[in-house]
Structure 1
Amino acid sequence: MTTVAAYAAPAAKAPLERTTIERRAVGEFDVLIDIKFAGICHSDIHQAREGWGEAIFPMVPGHEIAGVVAEVGSGVTRYAVGDRVGVGCMVDSCRECDNCKAGLEQYCTGGGMIGTYNALDRNGEPTYGGYSHQIVVDENYVVRIPDGLSLDVAAPLLCAGITTYSPLKHWNAGPGKKVAIVGMGGLGHMAVKIAHALGAEVTVLSQSLRKQEDGLKLGADHYYATSDPKTFEELAGTFDLILSTVSAPLNLDQFLSLLRTDGAFVNVGAPEEPVALNLFSVIMGRKSLAGSGIGGIQETQEMLDFCAEHGFGAEIELIAASEINEAYERVLASDVRYRFVIDTATI
């Protein structure tokens, strides 16, 4: 066991504070990573404040982890000391179910994936995330960060990047497709970049036009305010795919009206409250209402390579660990462009 510094929420809704945690000894197939940067995801806030249900405390959030390999187990073949690596939202799964064998570890049916934090590992011990100096992870759940990506802008790709890349690929965003992104936050700005790089015609649907200039610079072709009722009249029946990145309840019937026949509305943002739906909104037009999690390990590596190939990471604001609680409040106020990243050297 190794003692490392970390920032943790001692209880639900409590401010995060500096503490120490124990990391397991490096096993045969483990990789010890010196964490350099950790992104702050809205889901960190949901879980630290028990917005998604009962959680495990003390909690060290963080599943957007970028760092450098410091030690490897005797059986590790994929990585060596000094490699630039990342860890996303999961650190293990059953590895035996059909989904795990198909590279869909995020949808593991053999007990579910083991989250990077707020979960129990195979030994029944709590997992602790990336707001810390080091982490030990099985090599099969570690990905390589290409040399073309700086570690700070790569960190948010381990959640925000793959969470948007996976559904955009699955629903065939590309040339000839009209794709709308709901929300221009941490996930939304990555969705715009990725959809544009895939060749789709990209529209941002945001509450206001406050971030319009940013959206167009990042690759959007069009930008509309959803607070304007005329938006829904003008864009009715327009899109092949709508990707919702917001974590607030939406008027789903209103947004489904924007889909073409056979279009899909896909949720990657997860509101804490239930949402209402008139089923005629999907029946008329053979439309789909769907959701998507993160991506498997292989797809996450594919996403990182794709982003490096196209020369972009996340748009970030680098902060010290002492600013985490302030950053949480600013995320809730939509006051970040577009992802806070913690310099873990400041922990």
Structure 2
Amino acid sequence: MITAKGYGTKHSFTDLKPYQFERQEAGAHEVEIEVLYCGVCHSDIHQVKNEWSNTVYPCVPGHEIVGRVRKVGAHVNKHAVGDLVGVGCMIDSCRQCEPCCGGEENYCESPNSWLATYNGPMVPASQADGENIYGRDNTFGGYSDVVTVNEDFVLKIPAALKPEVAAPILCAGVTTYSPLKHWKVKAGDQVGVLGFGGLGHMAAKLAKAMGAEVTVFTRTKEKLDEAARFGFKGVLEDDNDALEKLAMSFDFMLSTVPEKHDINPFIELLKRDATICVVGALDTMKGVDNQELAFHRKNVSASLIGSLAETQEVLDFCAEHGIGPDIEIIPIQGINDAYKKVIKGDVRFRYVIDMASLKDEKDDFATF
């Protein structure tokens, strides 16, 4: 077994604290990765605080992991010691259902779905001898110094991407890239992005790189100014006059707002046959005006992260086009303050933890 150190919590109402636990050593088809950087995703906060009512404690968050391979199993052939690699939201799936066989592991239809990088138990059917190959009831994520992952669920980080910049692409990047690709956003399309945080600014950058004309919708003047700084058109969500002028003008809209919100005003902005896709919130959404949908054959949909292939695609796409998230690097000791700022919307635009800071930890690593 490997002794791992990280930050975790055992309750929804306590801060993240230094935590020591054990990981299994790399099996025949696994790689052991020294974690260099881990992005801070809003879903980490939802999970830590049990806002989705499914958190398994103790919880060690983190699913935007970039690190270096330090050990490989006997039958690993996709990665080698020294490789710079990434791990996103999934570390396994059933590998047997139709979506998995079709390269869409993020829509795995096995009873337990895919195996999450943290906050199991989502035990996949692919496990050897039907046992939990990760050796416990819940998986632990990248707010730690080491992870062990099946080689098939490990991505390659392109040399043109800085490792700290690549980290948020593993969730924020693919979560927005996947729907843009699925709904075939192309050069000349009018694309609207609701929200301009970690997901929203990546969505806007990716859509622009695909050749689309991008308009950002936000609730604050500060975010409007940020959008202008990036070269995007911006509209305040409560500017009814501006919204009225944009009626029936968008080929595709993507909502990245991380909480329940009303999408009806934006459905009116869609062209006939166009789609608005929700990726930021897993809450039950407010009801939609079906008359507005029916009269123009508009569509409301949603999308869940992205497949392994899409995750590699978006990493390569960002490297090719020289784009990535705007980040602020923090030490792990600042994670609780970072959560507060994310909730308040004060971060521009994504926190990334430098996991080398774990070595500076002066407190004892509890075992909960």
Distance in 1 between residues matched to 2:146 and 2:262, nearest whole Å: 42
In 1, the alpha carbon distance for the partners of 2:137 and 2:260 equals 34
Q: Displacement of 1:267 after TM fit?
A: 0.4
8 Å CA contact retained: 2:224, 2:236: no
Report the alpha carbon displacement of residue 271 of structure 1 after superposing the two structures with TM: 4.9
Secondary structure, aligned partner of 2:221: coil
Moved more, 90-99 or 270-279: 270-279
The alignment status of 1:322 with 2:323, answered yes or no, reads no
- What is the aligned partner in structure 1 of residue 362 from structure 2? none
Range with greater deviation from structure 2 (12-21 or 83-92): 12-21
Residue segments in structure 2 that go unaligned for 5+ positions in a row: 359-368
Partner of 2:6, secondary structure, is strand
In the alignment, is residue 67 of structure 1 matched against residue 91 of structure 2? no
Deviation of 1:314 after TM superposition, in Å, equals 1.3
Measured after TM superposition, the shift of residue 215 of structure 1 is 1.9
> Larger deviation: 256-265 or 110-119?
110-119
The Cα of 1:214 is off from its aligned counterpart by 2.8
Aligned length: 346
Verify: 1:241 aligned to 2:242, yes or no: no
Structure 1 residue 15 and structure 2 residue 15: aligned? yes
| Counterpart for residue 196 of structure 2 | 184
Q: TM-score, normalised by structure 2?
A: 0.92
Matched, 1:151 2:163: yes
CA contact (8 A) 1:183 1:206 kept: yes
Runs of 4+ that moved beyond 6 A: none
Task: Specify the alignment match of 2:342 in structure 1.
Answer: 331
- Quote the offset at 1:130 in angstroms: 0.5
Distance in 2 (CA, whole Å) between partners of 1:306 and 1:177 is: 19
Range 100-109 or range 227-236, more displaced = 227-236
CA distance in 1, matches of 2:178, 2:314: 8
Q: 1:74 to 1:219 in 2, by over 3 A?
A: farther
CA contact (8 A) 1:63 1:130 kept: yes
Give how far 1:85 is off: 0.3
User: 1:314-333, CA deviations, whole angstroms, 9 ceiling, x for partnerless residues?
Assistant: 11010011110111110010
Amino acid at match of 2:280: G
| 2:261–2:285 Cα contact (<8 Å) kept | no
- Matched with 2:208 is 196
Q: Which residue of 1 aligns with 2:54?
A: 54
**Counterparts in 2 of 1:92-103, with a 5 A limit?**
92-103=92-103
Mean Cα deviation higher: 206-215 or 128-137: 206-215
Moved more, 186-195 or 122-131: 122-131
Quote the residue 1:85 is aligned against: 85
Q: Distance in 2 between matches of 1:281 and 1:328?
A: 38
What pairs with 1:1-347 in structure 2 (closer than 5 Å)? 1-111=1-111, 112-120=113-121, 121=123, 122=127, 123=132, 125-220=137-232, 222-272=233-283, 274-347=285-358
Residues 1:109 and 1:219: Cα distance change in structure 2 (over 3 Å): farther
SS in 1 for 2:77: coil
Deviations 1:136-190 (A, max 9, x none): 0000000000000011010000000000000001111111211000011000010
Partner Cα distance (2:108, 2:230) in 1 = 34
What value does the CA root-mean-square deviation take over the aligned residues?
A: 1.2
TM-score, length-scaled by structure 1: 0.97
The residue type paired with residue 60 of structure 2 is V
